[in-house]
Amino acid sequence: MSDTLLGVYSRAPLVVDRGEGVWLYDVDGNRWLDCVMGIATDGLGHAHPKLVAALEAQANKLWHVSNIFRIPGQEALAQRLIDSTFADVVFFGNSGSEAIEGALKTARRYHHVNGSPERIDVIGFAGSFHGRTYAAVNASGNASYLDGFGPRLPGYVQLTLDDEAGIAEAIARPTTAAVIVEPVQGEGGARALTGEWLKRVRDLCTQHGVLLIYDEVQSGMGRTGKLFAHQWFEGVEPDIMAIAKALGGGFPIGAFLATKEAAKGMVVGTHGSTFGGNPLAMAVGIAAFDEIAKEETLAHARAVSAELVQQLNALKDIHGDMIVDVRGKGLLIGLKLVPNNREFMALARDHGILVAGGGENCVRLLPSLLLSGAEAAEVVTRLDAAFADARTRLARAA
């Protein structure tokens, strides 16, 4: 363990060296079947040849220029995103938090220029995760991320997803600016919202002139088997959407998308980013987008998800004393466990498979969208062994 790095992470004792497809290797040449994938970020697995080629080609050409110049790659990636979504405009940053930050600013500015500057409240939900900036932790309202960082920012309201009456009442308030929600909660433990839930909130927002912001940082870019998770449903499109993670296939890129109307307050001087959308990032982003957005890739993700989830449910039948629930959507899969999830993650590692943690004592499987059927079977074999081992080694969760 290192004393030179800020101690904010609980790191696994795994010293990474290289990756290849679904496999992650340590410096000693040991390999793990990687179902963390940089937390749903390496959507195409490690070292995808097309991403490597795009990065290498652009590295020899131009890395970075200021946004005071036109950057053709930005216009090209923006056009692709616009053509495949509700959006009219795109802003590029470098992370999910930055995308969230921009989305929140856009919502408040909209009401400011729309003659309702009193509309500043943003409604967020228990179990959500929107990133680590001051605005993002206030939007999610998770107490453990807020503790000790001074006063809460004004204008953030927290509700529970099942509080139908509370949600309707809050959206109708004259000080409400926006609702922010993950169509599939990621860190919260792979909790997928229904089309009915999204439609109801969409309609209430429209009725009351409130903007709907989707955080698809984790659920977007093919993760659920559609390009964006909300696209599973009709009539639930947002006004603003934050994306990141798999957008760059491992290269740091974030973005927020908006309709022309919702973005109308964001004029020259209201926002910016030094690194956001630089030529190197855009070259990789375009290559990643073109692979992920292909119907072939999305259809594969849906098919392999169906196979994997079926086998995980069979595993749940075998290890009913260990697995309480198999949930999520597409390849954003949560296993709600009886044994402590952190302890199980370490145990899974001993059996050659890496899984991510999540809320409600879940572990999350976030494999490459290109996971093959054989690799999916290998995921199940390794988990099976880990659960058998857990039965003998782990104490029940307190």
Ligand X SMILES: *Cc1c(COP(=O)(O)O)cnc(C)c1O
Question: Binding site membership for N(2)-acetyl-L-ornithine: which residues?
Answer: 132, 273
The one catalytic residue in 34, 121, 215, 239 is: 215
Residue of 244, 298, 326, 366 that binds ligand X (CB under 6 A): 244
Taking the least distance from each CB to ligand X, the nearer of 161 and 385 is: 161
The rounded distance, in Å, linking the Cα atoms of 288 and 290 is 6
- Output b/e per residue, 364-382; b: 16+ Cβ within 10 A: bbbbbbbbeeebbebbbbb
Using CB under 6 A as the binding rule, whether residue 215 contacts ligand X is answered as yes
DSSP string, 133-146: SHHHHHHH--HHHH
- Please count the residues of this chain forming the interface with ligand X, following the rule CB under 6 A: 15
Q: What are the C-alpha distances in Å from 389 to residues 30, 184, 350?
A: 20, 31, 10
Using CB under 6 A as the binding rule, whether residue 127 contacts ligand X is answered as no
The rounded distance, in Å, linking the Cα atoms of 311 and 290 is 30
The one catalytic residue in 245, 256, 289, 336 is: 245
For the question of residue 245 being annotated catalytic, the response is yes
Taking the least distance from each CB to ligand X, the nearer of 131 and 339 is: 131
Output DSSP code: residue 376: H
Residue of 198, 217, 240, 284 that binds ligand X (CB under 6 A): 217
Output DSSP code: residue 300: H
Taking the least distance from each CB to ligand X, the nearer of 256 and 289 is: 256
Using CB under 6 A as the binding rule, whether residue 129 contacts ligand X is answered as yes
Minimum distance from CB of 280 to ligand X (Å)? 17
User: Which residues is 31 bridged to in the sheet?
Assistant: 25
For the question of residue 147 being annotated catalytic, the response is no
* 302, 225 Cβ separation under 8 angstroms: yes
The rounded distance, in Å, linking the Cα atoms of 208 and 277 is 34
For the question of residue 163 being annotated catalytic, the response is no
Using CB under 6 A as the binding rule, whether residue 224 contacts ligand X is answered as no
Q: Could you give the angle at the alpha carbon of 153 between the alpha carbons of 150 and 154, nearest 5°?
A: 135
Residues 356 to 385 in contact with ligand X, rule: CB under 6 A:
none
Using CB under 6 A as the binding rule, whether residue 101 contacts ligand X is answered as no
User: Which residues is 131 bridged to in the sheet?
Assistant: none
Only one of the segments 44-52, 181-189, 308-316, 390-398 lies at the binding site for ligand X (rule: CB under 6 A); that segment is 181-189
- Interacting residues with ligand X (CB under 6 A): 95-97, 100, 129-131, 182, 186-187, 215, 217-218, 244-245
Which residues are annotated as catalytic?
129, 215, 245
